[in-house]
Amino acid sequence: MTDNRAGELSFALIEEKVGEIWRYVLDVPDDMADATFFDLEGESISAIRIVSRIEDELGVELEVGDIFEEDPNVGALVLRVAAAAKVSSLA
C-alpha cells in the first residue's frame, strides 16, 4: 500500500475499480469478459496503464511484470490486488 487507504478498501470496491480499469484500458468486448490479458491483445503500455491506475485509484502497488508472468483475466487480477492490499474476498 502506498498510503493509508487500507481501511477504506473492501473486496467489492477492489472488484469494481479493477474491473472498470481493466475494461477501459483493454477495451474489452462483451463476449470476452473472462479473457486473459494476452487474449485481449494487451501490450506493455496497457500493463503499465493498468498498474498505474490501480496504484492511483486504490493505493495498491503491483509489479508490471506480474501481468506478463501470470497473464491474468480480470478475476485473477482482482484477487492479486486484494492480496496485495491484504483484503479478504471472504468479507
Tell me the pTM.
0.87
Q: What's the pLDDT score for residue 7?
A: 59
Instruction: Say what angle helices 74-84 and 44-58 make with each other, to 10 degrees.
Output: 50
CA atoms within 13 Å, Cβ hemisphere of 72: 18
List per-block mean pLDDT (blocks of 10 residues) for the chain, which spans 91 residues: 60 97 96 96 97 97 94 97 88 51
Query: Rounded distance, CA 80 to CA 67, Å?
Result: 10
pLDDT at 89: 75
Q: What is the pLDDT of residue 12?
A: 96
pLDDT at 83: 95
